[in-house]
Amino acid sequence: MQAELYTVCNAGPLLVLAKLHQLYLLKALYGYVHIPESVYEETVTQGLRYGHVDAQRLQQFLAQVKWQSEPVNLADIPALIETAHLDRGEKDTLTLAYQHRPANVLMDETCGRKVAGQLGLPVCGTLGVLIKAYRQDLLNAEQLQMIFAEIAQRKDIWIHPHLIQKLLQELFKDT
């Protein structure tokens, strides 16, 4: 069996998948996902402080699968990351992935995805994770469509409905 590529996840996919009760897909698809300490602070610690259910769900999932947050070596940040208009979690996610190349980046933010591409790091967002799960038979077509519909309707998930519609049309154009 081929070893999984080192995968680092930013806050966006973690929170969206927690809201949708789909965190298990990360383990099924990637085996182990690395989470920078700053992302854990943002998603779990701050989320719990504000009483967010998704933060509690994420904390429970991380404890269950025994994934730990990881420090980032701040002495080795590429200039491209350091100067980009990114928050600390995004910078740490990209830095951790860059330091462990080859590595996957799971990130939704447009600017961060652009920087990942410039660094030669493969990047996948929440919708890409869900599509990958569908293609690997972890979700069937009806489940994927229902999840995408929920994303489009929710006010606490900031993924544009037009992108969702476009991806669904591409996926199911022959059906």
> Which residues have a Cβ under 8 Å from the Cβ of 145 and sit 6 or more positions away?
168, 172
pLDDT above 60 (res 3): no
**Average pLDDT of the residues in 152-172:** 93
CATH number of 6-141: 3.40.50.1010
**In this predicted model, what pLDDT tens digit does every residue of 36-86 receive, in sequence order?**
999 999 999 999 999 999 999 999 999 999 999 999 998 889 999 999 999
Is the previous residue joined to 161 through a cis bond, with omega within 30 degrees of 0?
no
Per-residue confidence (pLDDT) for residue 154, from 0 to 100: 95
**In this predicted model, what pLDDT tens digit does every residue of 98-157 receive, in sequence order?**
999 999 999 999 999 999 999 999 999 999 999 999 999 999 999 999 999 999 999 999
Domain-by-domain residue ranges, the chain?
6-141
pLDDT above 70 (res 175): no
Beta strands in 39-172 (DSSP E): 69-70, 103-106, 123-124
